[in-house]
Amino acid sequence: MSAFPTTRWSLIRASQQPPRDAAAAWSALVRDYRPAIVAYFRRGVLARDAEDLAQEFLLHSMQAGWWSRADADAGSFRRFLLALLKRFRLNRENTAQQRREVLVATNDSDGAHTAASAEDSPEAQFDLQFALCLTRNALAALRERYARDGRDALFAQLEPWLADAPAHGELATLAAQLEIPANTLAVQLRRMRQRLQESIRAALAELCLERVQVDADLAALRDALARGA
């Protein structure tokens, strides 16, 4: 039994899913993560065509139903997407080489990618953008949640401090404006940040089949964020 029995990713992969539903779900998913796909192609030998390649990739993936190729190994959307991208890139590079559109041989280009610094590799750039997409989606979901509870004003006031701790005295000033104790406001901010963290993890869990895969993906994304510092 999977730790996440019905995630967005497991639904796409479910064989009993009507093909049209799976296609729609896949399409929404890859469009959400398009920036990561473009970032991946930007680091290849065909970088100047990155946007076109991304578009071509998305189209092909939808027309050919690539999600149905996910085997038992594809425990996470991120990992599966990376494998598809790699195959697609090598394919395109081979074709381009045959047409003499690129000067370097494919084997050499592979070597060049490996020799490139780790943070500049297509995979690292993909992960970095993937982490940003995930954060963006989680932030939007959190904003919506606060709005639903009628606390959108509080969200707007605390949002700037999600990334950067308030400067000395700022928290106390805002607390005085809102006429609540500073401790209470600090707790509100802490909760908001924790909810964002939980929301990111939940968003990632939606793209995985197993908890251990969520941990592995999260570790990879953290690596990419740390390397890109």
Partner 1 sequence: MNPSDDADLLRLARTVLLSGSDDGVSALDALDLDDASQRRFGDYELLQRLGRGGMGVVFRARQRSLGREVALKVIASASEDAEAVARLLAEARAAAQLHHPNIVPVFEVGFVDDVHFFSMPLLRGTTLAQSLAGRRLGEAEAIALLLTLAGAVAYAHSLGLLHLDLKPANVLLDDQGRPLIGDFGLARRFDAGSGAQAGESSGTPAYMAPEQIDPRLGALSPRSDIYALGAMLHEFLTGQPPHGEGDASTLLTRALHDTVTGPRARRPALSADIDAVCRRCLQRDPWHRYASVDELAADLARCRDGNEVSVRPRRWPERAWRSLRRHPALSAAVGAALLALVFGLLGMGWQWRRAETALRTAEHERALSGARADRLHQLAGLLAASFPAAGIDDTDMRRSARDAITGLTREAGSDPAAQRELLDAFGQALRSAGKGEAVDILLAEIIRQRGDGYRREQLAALLARGDRDSLVALQLLAGNEPDAVSRDLAARGAAELLRTHAGDADALYALALGCSLGSIPCVGDEYAERLVAAAPDNAVHWILAPRDEPPARTRQRLHHAAQATQFDDHLATQVGLLRSTLDRTPPPDALRQPLLGMIEDAEILPSLQRHAIDAVPLPHYASVVALCRTDREPARDDAALRADCSAFARRALNAPGASILSRMIASAMLRRLHKGTPIEREAYEYRRQYVWLAEQVSRQQVDPDLLQSDLARYGEWEAWLRAADRSGIARSPDAAWVPKNPQSLLLSEDRGKPSR
CB-nearer residue toward partner 1: 21 or 215? 215
- Identity at 183, one-letter amino acid code: N
Interface with partner 1 includes 221 (CB under 8 A)? Answer: yes
One of 25, 139, 141, 154 touching partner 1 (CB under 8 A) = 139
Q: Do 209 and 75 meet the contact criterion of CB atoms below 8 Å apart? A: yes
Q: At what angle do helices 34-42 and 77-98 cross, to 10 degrees?
A: 40
Least distance (Å) between residue 63 CB and partner 1: 26
Segment near partner 1 (CB under 8 A); pick from 8-16, 25-33, 43-51, 216-224: 216-224
Contacts of 112 (CB under 8 A, 6+ apart): 45, 104
Least distance (Å) between residue 26 CB and partner 1: 25
Interface with partner 1 includes 132 (CB under 8 A)? Answer: yes
Structure tokens at 179: 């006429």
Segment near partner 1 (CB under 8 A); pick from 11-19, 21-29, 44-52, 218-226: 218-226
Residues 124-144 as b or e (16 or more Cβ within 10 Å = b): bbbbbbbbbbbbebbbeebee
CB-nearer residue toward partner 1: 22 or 171? 171
Q: Which of residues 12-41 bind partner 1 (CB under 8 A)?
A: none
Cα 17 to chain centroid distance, Å, stands at 24
Residue carrying the six token digits 């089949």: 209
- Identity at 128, one-letter amino acid code: L
> What number of chain residues touch partner 1 (CB under 8 A)?
56
Q: Which of residues 67-86 bind partner 1 (CB under 8 A)?
A: 72
Angle at 28 between CA 193 and CA 69, to 5 degrees: 110
Q: Which of residues 85-114 bind partner 1 (CB under 8 A)?
A: 107, 110-111, 114
Interface with partner 1 includes 183 (CB under 8 A)? Answer: yes
Angle at 205 between CA 41 and CA 223, to 5 degrees: 50
Segment near partner 1 (CB under 8 A); pick from 11-19, 21-29, 44-52, 211-219: 211-219
3-state secondary structure of 147: helix
Residues that bind partner 1 (CB under 8 A): 1, 3, 72, 107, 110-111, 114-115, 128, 131-132, 134-136, 139-140, 159-166, 168-169, 171-172, 181-184, 186-187, 189-191, 193-198, 200, 211-212, 215-216, 218-219, 221-222, 225-226, 228-229
